[in-house]
Structure formats: structure tokens, C-alpha cells
């Protein structure tokens, strides 16, 4: 096996598209490092600091912005979200693939990042729900949010959906197994790319 | 499933790399159309006209060159080989993927072809044997050729190997199943590309 640099796989899609499940499974199967985001939003029930997110207060988040620690950061639903450079670059250099569950704004920032290692590593995927109706069913089905939160999330999801053409790859969600099979194939194929070989 | 144009998958690699087995299996599993080449070399034992190759005499081959029927053609081992446009373009337009088992000269010609449909469809892969030693073992193991033919084929294989960096993807041959798993993943991933969607 020749040495190569890592792949940075950006995965976007509306809440309810199943993107987080895909990313988490890839990490569970040790195929990639799951880049843990920072956020100022409060933890939901069951969410663990350092596993689901690095939960930061606004002051702490701002200090890290000022220090240039973030690869990207954005405000969504009135909360800050961001990815630390250390969550990505250290892994890529070691040839470890990194998967990022990221919104369209964040992906746009990463795409325009001037770091050459990021640019060489970058692959982006948009995961779409099979239909608007199914998206709504999935958002309601979670049962963790109130109606007004669901409505806001649906509105945001539909806005998010308009950005799919900015991506290289797209998966239209079918079943979990089918989606994962395609997702994994994408990573297997990207690993065959000659451009990332270092010797 | 959205409509898309077909993928043209060029597969090169030295004799003994296992590329033909990969291409044939993809066609057998109805994943892609196997583009049948034309050649002026005489059929080997068991080879069937219209299945393994379209076997043409030199005059017939030359007439088709003059008529502009070939997408690419080249001379290898003192014989002519070529691909008819009709073996590729008609399929791509219908959204059928086409796999071509092609030498490095032929791949180079297809890459420089000015046809926009070809350019949009093009994906190229180089299949390498695991080592020079294993390559030789595979070439001898066939048992269909004389020593001097094997020596010529080995020499040609080593020359062919120098071109691998011209390709986008590379598979270093391991086992048949492992190689095919990667090959199939490549096609699955390419099918997820947004750039080939037509609606």
C-alpha cells in the first residue's frame, strides 16, 4: 500500500437527510475520523461534550475565532457552529481520512479556504431526502423537538436543499444500507486517486 | 433516479494486471457495456469474432480509419487495434455506462478527443500488478504463448507501466475479489457525480 494524504469528506444535507448517521457509521467502522464541531447551542438530551460536539460558551467561541483556530464557522438557528483546524489538518497529514458533517455555509467556507492541504484533500457530498414529504415525516418522527422548532427546521432544510448543485457528489437517500453502500463506495473510489499518493 | 449521461470508463494496465477480467465481469453483471475493439491480429484459440474482438483484415481496418469511424486506433505488437465510435457514443447518450479495455496509447487518444460527450463521460483507471515478479508469473502462467512472445509481452508491459501517472485512478492488483470490489466502487461513486445529471 502506497502512502497517501488523507481525504477530507464534507457531507452536507438538510436535517432528516440521514447524513449524520452516514458520517457516524463511517467513524464507527474506523474508516475515517469524525471531525467534532464546536457549538454554542445547548446540548440536547443525551448529547455528550467531546463526542457529539465541543460545547462552548459564546465568549470562548469568540476567543477561538479571534485566535484563528477555526477552519470554518457560521451562525445557524441563532447559534454558532465551527470546526477547529486541529480536528482536520493533523489527521490529513498522517494519511487519516476525515469526515465532516457540515452545513452548506460551512462547506462553502472550507471550499474557499486557501490552505493547500485542505484543497488537495477536499471531496464534497450532498445527501438529499427522497422527497419533501419524506423529509417532513423524518423531522416529525424524531419526536425531540416542538412544532415551532420543526417548522423552523423544515424551512431551513428547504433553503439548504437549494445548494445541492454546489457539490461534486449527491446521494438521494433511499434505505440506510443502500445509502451507506454508496457513501462507502465514494470513499473507496477517492482512495484510488493517484493525485493523493505521496510516493 | 434522475436521468444522467453514461460514464466512459477507460481501463489500462499491462497484460497480466487482470484488467480484462475486471472489465468483462462488469459487463457480465450488466453494470456496463463492454466496448468491443477491432483488431487486425489473428484470433487466438477460443476467441470469437464480435465477442472478444471484431477481427478485421488490414484493408478493411484502413477503410474504417479513412472513413473516420474510429474513436481511437493504434498499432501494438505490429497489429492494429481500434475502437469504433458506434461502440461508445450511442450507449453514452442513452445513459448506459461503457467500459473500455484499452492500452495507454489508445487512452491517450481518447483523452485528447475533441468530442464533448466523450470528455464529459471520461474516467480513467490504471490497473497495476502487485510486483514485477508477480507480473512475470502471471504472463508465464497463461501458457498460451511461446517464450519469445512472453519476453516481448513483458517488455511491453514494463513500458506500459511507466504511464500510470497519466491516469486519475489506480488499482494495485491484490486478489480478484478485492480488485473487483474497488473497481465496482469506482463506478458507483462516479454515478453519484452531479455533473452528469441531465435533469
pLDDT at B1 over 60: no
pLDDT at B167 over 70: yes
Two domains, one topology: A1-35+96-192 and A36-87: no
Long-range contacts of B16-21 (CB under 8 A, 24+ apart): B16/B129, B16/B135, B16/B136, B16/B138, B16/B139, B16/B142, B16/B153, B16/B157, B17/B127, B17/B128, B17/B129, B17/B135, B17/B173, B18/B127, B18/B129, B18/B138, B18/B173, B18/B176, B18/B179, B19/B101, B19/B127, B20/B101, B21/B176
Interface test with B, best of A11, A174, A194, A196 (most B CBs within 10 A): A194
Q: Which three cell numbers stand for residue B115?
A: 468530442
- Determine the pLDDT at residue B171: 97
- Determine the pLDDT at residue B138: 84
CATH 3.30.63.10 fits B36-87, yes or no: yes
Domain boundaries, chain B: 1-35+95-192, 36-87
Q: Do B168 and A125 touch (CB under 8 A)?
A: no
pLDDT at A49 over 70: yes
Q: Within a 13 Å sphere around the CA of B196, how many CA atoms are in the beta-carbon half?
A: 27
Q: Model confidence at B199, in pLDDT bands (50, 70, 90)?
A: low
A170 to chain B: which residues are within 8 Å by CB? 192-194, 197
Q: In angstroms, rounded to a whole number, what is the distance separating the alpha carbons of residues B170 and B164?
A: 8
Continuous segment of H or E residues that includes residue A126: strand A122-128
Q: What residue in A sits closest to B193 (Cα-Cα)?
A: A169
- Which CATH number is B1-35+95-192's, of 3.40.630.30, 3.40.50.170, 3.40.50.300, 3.30.870.10? 3.40.50.300
Does the CB of A170 have a partner CB in chain B at under 8 Å? yes
What number is the average pLDDT over the span B44-50? 92
Specify the pairing of strand B169-172 against strand B98-101: unpaired
Does the CB of A182 have a partner CB in chain B at under 8 Å? yes
- Determine the pLDDT at residue B152: 85
Q: Which three cell numbers stand for residue A84?
A: 477547529
Nearest-neighbour CA in chain A from B157: distance (Å): 20
Does the CB of B184 have a partner CB in chain A at under 8 Å? yes
Q: Model confidence at B143, in pLDDT bands (50, 70, 90)?
A: low
Does the CB of B174 have a partner CB in chain A at under 8 Å? no
Q: Are B168 and A194 in contact (CB under 8 A)?
A: yes
Task: Give me the phi and psi of B125, to 5 degrees please.
Answer: -135, 135
Q: In angstroms, rounded to a whole number, what is the distance separating the alpha carbons of residues B117 and B9?
A: 13
Strand blocks (E) in B77-177: 79-84, 98-101, 122-128, 169-172
Q: In angstroms, rounded to a whole number, what is the distance separating the alpha carbons of residues A113 and A109?
A: 6
Q: What is the pLDDT of residues A112-164, one digit of tens each?
A: 988 899 999 999 999 999 998 888 888 887 666 688 888 888 898 999 999 99
Continuous segment of H or E residues that includes residue B75: strand B70-76
Beta bridge partners of B75: B80
What number is the average pLDDT over the span A40-60? 94
ipTM entry: 0.89
CATH T-level topology, domain A1-35+96-192: Rossmann fold (3.40.50)
Nearest-neighbour CA in chain A from B162: distance (Å): 14
Does the CB of A194 have a partner CB in chain B at under 8 Å? yes
- Determine the pLDDT at residue A111: 94
| Cα-only R_g, chain A | 17
Amino acid at each position: 500500500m502506497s502512502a497517501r494524504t488523507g481525504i477530507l469528506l464534507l457531507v452536507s444535507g438538510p436535517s432528516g437527510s440521514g447524513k449524520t448517521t452516514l458520517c457516524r457509521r463511517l467513524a464507527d467502522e474506523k474508516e475515517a475520523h469524525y471531525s467534532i464541531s464546536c457549538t454554542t447551542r445547548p446540548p440536547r438530551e443525551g448529547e455528550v461534550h467531546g463526542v457529539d460536539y465541543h460545547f462552548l460558551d459564546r465568549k470562548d467561541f469568540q476567543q477561538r475565532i479571534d485566535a484563528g483556530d477555526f477552519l470554518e464557522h457560521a451562525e445557524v438557528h441563532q447559534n454558532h457552529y465551527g470546526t477547529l483546524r486541529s480536528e482536520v489538518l493533523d489527521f490529513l497529514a498522517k494519511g487519516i481520512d476525515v469526515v465532516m458533517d457540515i452545513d452548506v455555509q460551512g462547506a462553502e467556507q472550507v471550499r474557499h479556504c486557501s490552505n493547500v492541504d485542505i484543497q488537495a484533500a477536499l471531496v464534497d457530498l450532498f445527501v438529499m431526502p427522497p422527497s419533501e414529504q419524506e423529509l417532513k415525516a423524518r423531522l416529525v418522527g424524531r419526536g425531540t423537538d416542538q412544532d415551532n422548532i420543526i417548522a423552523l427546521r423544515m424551512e431551513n432544510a428547504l433553503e439548504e436543499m437549494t445548494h445541492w448543485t454546489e457539490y461534486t457528489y449527491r446521494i438521494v437517500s433511499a434505505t440506510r444500507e443502500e445509502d451507506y453502500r454508496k457513501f462507502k463506495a465514494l470513499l473507496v473510489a477517492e482512495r484510488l486517486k493517484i493525485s493523493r499518493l505521496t510516493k
